[in-house]
Structure 1
Amino acid sequence: MDIEILARIQFAFTVAFHYIYPPLSIGLGLILVIMEGLYLFTKEKIYHQMAKFWTKIFALIFGIGVATGIVMEFEFGTNWATYSKYVGDIFGSALAAEGIFAFALESGFLGVLLFGWNRVSPGMHFFSTLMVFLGSMFSAVWIVVANSWQQTPAGYHIVGEGIKARAEITDFWAMVFNPSSVERLSHVWIGAFLAGSFFVLSVNAYYLLKKKHVEIAQKGFKIALIVAFAASYMQLFTGHKSADGVAKNQPAKLAALEGHFKAQAPADMYLLGWVDKKNQETHGIKLPGGLSFLLYQDTNQFVTGLQSFPERDRPSQLNAIFQFYHLMVAIGMLLIALSTFAVFRWYRNSLFNSKWLLWSFVGAGILPQIANQVGWFAAEMGRQPWVVYGLLRTSDAFSRSVQANQVMFSIILFGIVYLTLFILFIYLLTKKIVHGPTDLQQ
């Protein structure tokens, strides 16, 4: 297999596996802040009890997330040497900022969060929980800034020529606030809130179905439902803003996401379908003029299609990009519907009376994770053939000295290690969930 494809597969695999955990830790961090805040405000021990329980699960998620994230930084040097040299000044600044302003804050207060329950005052412990949560949020800031710069470069100039060319920062804040960073960051944050809240909803729904820890499960379910309800609607807004940004800054990606080939007005929007790359057609259920209206609030507006770009500058895996994007959108709409219906049942005082609704939430715990994964797949595959949009092609970015068999061996090795880690994670997570919250008297 081609070395470029293998290197991309390896990085995609390691990033996708790692990204199971950061959204959960960010979302669960928010839930912990709310639970501890309620304990401080009401003095009800039940909130203290649920906060201690979810802190144990947070620790497990955080630990696996850190372990799996370290690998990616080494891959930049081993498999993507040209890329690393090209963007080193940009990425170095962003990753250094993450370490100084985010990871140090998060890890510095983590010990107090985990072991300070009976050693510091409740107020100090709440402050530590808040700092860990903010640290995880800041960590996402710098990672998304670095990735967004690849999508919409700004605040730089190119030094050198040919293989010696590299990007240098000329304006740090222009690099940080590049044209897509704020929109993409808000989208990532809200996706993390959905992952954490629906995970808590799933576990508490399971307890209610099994009639275990009923009081704590009902209160925890309601806390998570409020977060999920608000986040699901906020995601609709941030997703729309992000799509507007893609249409403006990366029109070829937008056309790939929507399966849009011909530059035309009005432009239709496919709700579901199949992209025929060979014949440059998309077949499926479409909303006439929908894409024009989505982007410009006018069904007669012109939208650029893939045929407006040279074939070598178009994303190659068009159907996969289309399907990933539409799956993300479909899950987002389903989460809105599910959380809205649950809030309605809560308003009618019948939230916990329906087993099918509780089972729906048990299964829905995985949906934000799927949406987060396929959303990133669509974004990164849609950027192709560029690793830095408009500046550096992916085919020019990998390490020339690495052999295909070496990358294949590392893929197999990583696969074994990550499978072991995942099995261990599921085992420990299941064990903690089955055990449940500690009784109040303990």
Structure 2
Amino acid sequence: MLDIKWIRENAAALDAALAKRDAAAVSAEIIRIDEERRERVQKLQDMQSRRNAASKEIGAAMGRKDQETADRLKAEVAELKSALQSAEEEVRALDSRLEVALSTIPNMPLDDVPEGADEDDNVEVRKVGTKPGWNHKAIEHFEIGEALGQMDFELASRIAGSRFVVLRGQLARLERALGQFMLDMHTGEHGYTEVQPPLLVRDEAVFGTGQLPKFAEDLFHTTDGRWLIPTAEVSLTNLVREEIFDHDRLPLRFTALTPCFRSEAGSAGRDTRGMLRQHQFNKVELVSITDPESSLDELERMTSCAEEVLKRLGLHYRVVVLCTGDMGFGARKTYDIEAWLPGQDTYREISSCSVCGDFQARRMNARFRRSGEKGVQFVHTLNGSGVAVGRALIAIMENYLNEDGSVSVPDALLPYMGGITRIERAD
């Protein structure tokens, strides 16, 4: 959420930034609501002041035995009481209108973010590693998994509907190994603290990270008013909500391996086969909480942590910086890491790392205090995939495919596989 004071002073800059994101100019409407609210607040305060003064004057009149003046003042106080109730309701309504209006404005892109309309305008930053050099035919992961007898979409559909999968045997173990490998790296080498967070959260938590109110249709809602997390970013970032931290405690770095749940609203017809776009999937999430001066360096650091996963797995990938039209709602700058998938003959996103500035912190009221200072500042938040486990499984299956249809296990995962070096067809 953006600062209303900043919007009042930088209306043109806001509208220019929103234009880069192909979003409508909103500053005039926001400022109009805010001005109306401020006028009503001033009117309310004036009435409160007059009521308090009149109440004192009643006592003075009664002390002088001036009943006529006392009665007139009592009548005035009674009228003010009724008017105050109405004015308070008006202010509450305007507060709500302003909050709703502010909560639907996307974050401001940083100046170095490339302008563009969609993913075609993203800019490649670097490529790392090489594509597999074997000569046999490349096959998509779902064909590999089904041929191995360890990936079943039809059975999952009978149980839960479309966009689910059942993994069995060695393939299920390989997926589990990936998650454990990532957690061990991020906690043991990269300084992240492992967390087991709630998978069900309240409205306030999803609002805090920006999924509500604008993206409710992308989420699963329970009958008791909770939300299934679309990413552990929601739970991990909200660990600092309504807190004030000492500056020397920053940065805070959290990681979690959790199931994630997404309705995939608006994705009809896209990636309908396989595991690329599912309602339920596992992901290792990275979240950092920093001061304003450190957040951009932290974005580079977080991206390198996610990249290291792919390097250790021996996967070819590229890093792109997202253009203004392809960035997420709460991001100021985003790097996507895209793994090479031979079966699709293309790169596909496997991690997305974003810096959000104080956008989420304002929604969560998460702040810090510098040593020796009385005032507080909003923290900066960052989030990234470190990485999507299911998509890493896809990448390994397609890149480590052998001519006989088996899949070799990357060396980095061997300690987690109990002696299994190849995923072979189940008997």
TM-score (norm 2): 0.23
- Structure having the higher strand fraction is 2
Task: Flag the structure with larger Rg.
Answer: 2
